[in-house]
Amino acid sequence: MIGYVGVVAGIAVLVFLAFKRVNVIVSTCLCAVIIGLTNQMPFWSIFTDYYLPSAGTWVSQYFLLFVCSGIYARVLSESGSAAAIAYKIIDAFGKERVILATALLVMALTYGGLSGFVSIFLVWPICVGLARETQKPKVLFLAVFYFGFLTLAYAALPGSPQLSNVLAAQMLGTTPTAAPILSLVASVIIFVLGYAYLIRLDRSYTRQGKVFEENGKGIDIPLIARAACPPFAAAVAPMVILLLLFMGLSNGWFSPFGLPRTETLPAIISALLAASFVCVLLNYKKIKEIPAMLSKGAQDAISPLVSLFTMVAFSEVVSATPAFASFVTWVHNIPGHPYFQVAVAANAIGVVTASASTTVQITLNAFAQHWLASSQVNPEALTRIVALASVGLSCGPHAGGMFANLAVSGENLKDIFVPYFIACGVVSTIALLVTIGLALLGIV
């Protein structure tokens, strides 16, 4: 019993400290100790066997990705390319439709296969430019970013290359395009409800008098006048090259030319480096100090990197506890139709892990064979339900991606959490319930 109390207390304290903006290293270490000791883990074992090995493994995998992302974001902003794209979006869509334009941009990058770690570095300089020009608060654009990344293009659209969708398909023996009708219905529901909420949020901020503020937090995005910006074609070319090169390398499009198919991580790192080089080349005269710019870009990546690997390490401690193993067993015995079991199990696990992809992995490792053995289950419908369910309650304030994005944007958890949870968690859960209802009727 004390083990369960320890896990709940540890997560609760972590959330409290996050709202108080306590350093993430201090808070995750403290909460890992609370959880570990209440689950009979030796004190030093908490760190030497779980926290530090997990952190080290994660950093060794993603260090270059974050550094290259930070450099690209810095090049994009200091060259004036981000500002040029922001001005063009406003000219094309009008100030009243910048929310729609930003959401569609993030969705396109997400459906193109870019992870949230990379997308926030690409999109945030543009978001700041849009916020400046429209005098809307930056937190609104962070909410739009989350909606664009973590909902429709992440788990609902058929064929999404994002991890939750791909993992669900692989572990259930289907394909990422599984259940196309359910996918499209869920996508429409998510888009309509999410966009309507963001419009309402924008109006609420306007009534409250909230406007853009230069708070000096997060990565520094310089103000660049229209006259100093590069032409739109030169500004957008590096981003197009990045997306095409990443998709081409990761899907083997360049195999006929002697470039074999590349794994996702080296593909995106290569694309980021190429895009950064092209951006510098096209805007060489507009960039004053290239070495200083590269150094600052690398520094920009450190805080998000630390925020994320500490949360990954904390999650490793939680998942290693006997209390978590007992929790998974309890979830296994939930009564009802398998589709409802999926929804409850994934959301319950998501509360603890605060990670959509981890939720899919743990849920299906524990229950996939049990559910697939049931004659009531269609594997394609199950794939879509699992992918959607992974988003719901995993949208917690202790999510690793949340800490990383706060480090990039400089926003407060207390300001973004409710918009984030409604635009992503609530909207996805509504789509999930409709999807389950249609699946029970045999619609796939």
Output the pTM of the full model.
0.89
> CA dihedral defined by 82, 86, 91, 93, rounded to 10 degrees?
130
* Spatial separation of the C-alpha atoms in residues 285 and 79, rounded to whole Å: 9
* Spatial separation of the C-alpha atoms in residues 246 and 242, rounded to whole Å: 6
Which residue in this structure is represented by tokens 């429409």? 188
From first to last of the 444 residues of the chain, give the pLDDT tens digit. 798 899 999 999 988 998 888 888 999 999 999 999 999 999 999 999 999 999 999 899 889 988 999 999 999 888 999 999 999 999 999 998 999 999 999 999 999 888 887 899 989 999 999 999 999 999 999 999 999 998 888 999 998 888 889 889 989 999 989 999 999 999 999 999 999 999 999 999 999 999 999 877 888 888 888 888 899 999 999 989 988 998 888 888 988 888 888 887 888 899 999 999 999 999 888 887 888 888 988 998 888 888 888 888 998 898 899 998 888 788 777 888 999 999 999 998 888 888 888 889 888 988 899 899 989 999 999 999 999 999 999 998 888 888 889 999 999 999 999 999 999 999 999 999 999 999 999 999
| pLDDT for position 217 | 80
| pLDDT for position 331 | 74
